[in-house]
Amino acid sequence: VALGTWQSSSDDVKVAVLEAIKAGYRSIDTAKIYGNEAAVGEAIKESIEAGIVKREELYVTTKVWNDAHRAEDVAKVARESLEKLGTGYIDLLLIHWPWAGKVVDFAARKLELEYVPLSETWGAMEKLVEEGLVKSIGVSNFNVQLMLDLISYAKIKPAVVQNEVH
């Protein structure tokens, strides 16, 4: 079971992560688009400094948003996330959604789509694993056809398929 941090303000998420770690949670799920990675990182740092948990006992997940599917953007946002989290490495990096585009209006879920092959995004994520910045990679909100396509060219197979269900 992971603590999800979507729709949590920075103040709320810091308290939630601290309390979750105290309660025994070891998996924390966040994303750049949530706008609270720095607060998640602060809570993790405080938990480690207080001796509640060791870094290697935690499993921190973050995600590549739709506007960062190009290879150069994947590396940039992963490094930015890592800096905010302050964890030394990312345990799991996911492609948040299988389509690329620029956010026009996040609240209204409006996106200006652009074509970026998923193979480009995945290849950039594989490089991050090779560099040691990321321990494992996966996808979120992919259907069966997209998974079959990904598996056909992936050197590193997805460690996780995370799907949002309502």
Q: What is the pLDDT of residues 96-135, one digit of tens each?
A: 999 999 877 767 777 889 999 999 999 999 999 999 999 9
**Location of structure tokens 């998640």:** 40
Find the mean pLDDT for residues 140-160.
97
**Percent of the residues in the chain that have a pLDDT greater than 70, as a whole number:** 99
- Provide the pLDDT for residue 66: 92
- Provide the pLDDT for residue 108: 75
CB 51 within 8 A of CB 81: no
Residues marked as catalytic: 34
Please tell me the distance from the alpha carbon of residue 125 to that of residue 65, in angstroms, as a whole number: 13
Q: What is the pLDDT of residues 23-43, one digit of tens each?
A: 999 999 999 989 999 999 999
